[in-house]
């Protein structure tokens, strides 16, 4: 990342995992080799994520943790307080990546100033943004601190090429959320055919597609078998033709929201 530290290219997403389920999923993910956990203040599971990391016995420095400042915590002072509150819930002195969760029109500029301070004070090893489309990124082009990462919805059915390109130009790591399109396209024939050829599942093909595009992938699962399956993606490679075929699936299909509306 442009702030100097590295981000593991595969992590586990934790949205909709709460309480014991969040704890167990993170424990299992760490056991099968994940070293990157994506949480957020809005997910309501930071305490369980921190607890699972401590219980794993794996040194804190070996695990990359991302959390995010939610909309009602934005603004300069509020975001600084939110960061402290997240760290308290996680039980950490710093996170590896702190993101603005959503580009709230009236607050995002002030929040970004707070992110620079969070970085300076060492409460995050890197800071970044999420759901930032080109217009939002342009606002930050002249800032003293450039985001290290932009996390946005990205899978074969939604490939915002302009955002990817602008991130590459600004040396911002592209992180794909909802990389499995929330499971809604698992029966897609094109993907299933490619998966069958490799003896892999459709989910593994979707993740592999993102990895080969050099996107950081954070598939979510609360199921132990699927958590393992989603990480078993480093023993095969999609051909250039298969990559192109998957690229052709783009149909501007959002499973979440369209951030271009937050002008
Ligand atoms: N920054 C943002 O605004 C934002 C927005 C959305 C998401 N995110 C982050 O990105 C992460 C991932 O996105 P997401 O949770 O929206 O969606 P996703 O990872 O694309 O899909 C998750 C869904 O797919 C299912 N699934 C997982 N592995 C599977 C497999 N191998 N085979 C079949 N189904 C499978 C899961 O069910 P089971 O749990 O039952 O396996 C769940 O229903 C989130 O958890 C969160 O950390 C960030």
Angle at CA 203, nearest 5°, toward 200 and 209?
Answer: 85
pTM: 0.98
Predicted confidence (pLDDT) per residue in 103-132, tens digit: 999 999 999 999 999 999 999 999 999 999
183 alpha carbon – ligand 1 mean position (Å): 7
Q: What is the pLDDT of residues 210-260, one digit of tens each?
A: 999 999 999 999 999 999 999 999 999 999 999 999 999 999 999 999 999
Neighbours of 223 (CB within 10 A): 12
Determine the distance separating the centroid of ligand 1 and the alpha carbon of 182, expressed in angstroms.
5
> Which among 23, 34, 43, 177 is annotated as catalytic?
43
Task: Give the residue, by CA position, lying nearest to ligand 1 atom 37.
Answer: 221
- H helices of 121-188, where? 134-140, 161-169
Query: Which of 146, 92, 91, 152 shows the shortest CA–CA distance to 124?
Result: 92
Per-residue pLDDT tens over the stretch 166-219: 999 999 999 999 999 999 999 999 999 999 999 999 999 999 999 999 999 999
Taking 90 as the threshold, does the pLDDT of residue 79 lie above it? yes
**How close is the Cα of 129 to the center of ligand 1, in Å?**
19
pLDDT at 263: 84
Pseudo-torsion of CA 186, 182, 66, 149, nearest 10°?
80
Ligand 1 atom nearest the C-alpha of 204 is 31
Q: Of ligand 1's atoms, which has the minimum distance to the CA of residue 39?
A: 47
- Residue ID of nearest Cα to ligand 1 atom 48: 177
Distance CA 91, CA 36 (A): 17
Active site residue 76: no
Structure tokens that stand for 171 in this block: 């040396």
Please give the average per-residue pLDDT across 30-42, as a whole number.
Answer: 98
Give residue for tokens 């915590």: 73
Beta strand spans in the chain (E): 12-13, 36-38, 64-69, 97-100, 127-130, 149-153, 173-177, 216-217
**pLDDT at 49 exceeding the cut of 90:** yes
Helix (H) or strand (E) run with residue 64 in it: strand 64-69
Pocket test for ligand 1, best of 220, 228, 258, 261 (most atoms within 8 A of CB): 220
Give the model's pLDDT for residue 249: 98
Residues with CB under 6 A from ligand 1: 13-15, 38, 101, 130-131, 151, 177-183, 186, 201, 203, 218-223, 226, 229-230, 256
Mean pLDDT, the chain, whole residue set: 97
Class at the top of the CATH hierarchy for domain 12-252: alpha beta
| Statement: residue 42 has pLDDT above 90 | yes
> Would you state the structure tokens that stand for residue 131, as one six-digit string?
């759901």
Position 158 scores a pLDDT of 98
**Per residue in 120-168, pLDDT tens?**
999 999 999 999 999 999 999 889 999 999 999 999 999 999 999 999 9
Q: How far apart are CA 71 and CA 99, in angstroms?
A: 11
Closest protein CA for atom 11 of ligand 1: 13
């Amino acid at each position: 990342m442009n702030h100097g530290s590295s981000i593991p290219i595969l992590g586990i997403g934790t949205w909709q995992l709460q309480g014991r389920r969040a704890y167990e999923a993170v424990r299992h993910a760490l056991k099968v080799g994940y070293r990157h956990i994506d949480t957020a203040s809005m997910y309501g599971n930071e305490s369980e994520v921190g607890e699972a990391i401590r219980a794993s016995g794996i040194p804190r420095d070996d695990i990359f943790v991302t959390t995010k400042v939610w909309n009602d915590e934005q603004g300069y002072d509020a975001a600084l307080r939110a960061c402290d509150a997240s760290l308290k819930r996680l039980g950490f002195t710093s996170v590896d990546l702190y993101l603005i969760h959503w580009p709230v029109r009236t607050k995002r500029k002030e929040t970004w100033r707070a992110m620079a301070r969070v970085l300076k004070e060492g409460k995050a090893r890197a800071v970044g943004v999420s759901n930032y489309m080109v217009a939002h990124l342009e606002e930050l082009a002249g800032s003293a601190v450039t985001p290290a990462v932009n996390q946005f919805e990205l899978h074969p059915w939604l490939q915002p090429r302009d955002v990817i390109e602008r991130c590459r130009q600004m040396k911002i790591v592209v992180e794909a959320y909802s990389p499995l399109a929330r499971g809604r396209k698992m029966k897609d024939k094109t993907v299933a055919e490619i998966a069958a050829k490799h003896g892999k599942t459709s989910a593994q093909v979707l993740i592999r597609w993102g990895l080969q595009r050099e996107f950081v992938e954070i598939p979510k699962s609360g199921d132990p078998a699927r958590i393992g399956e989603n990480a078993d993606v480093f023993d095969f490679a999609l051909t250039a033709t298969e990559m192109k075929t998957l690229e052709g699936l783009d149909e501007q299909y959002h499973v979440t929201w369209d951030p271009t509306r937050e002008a």
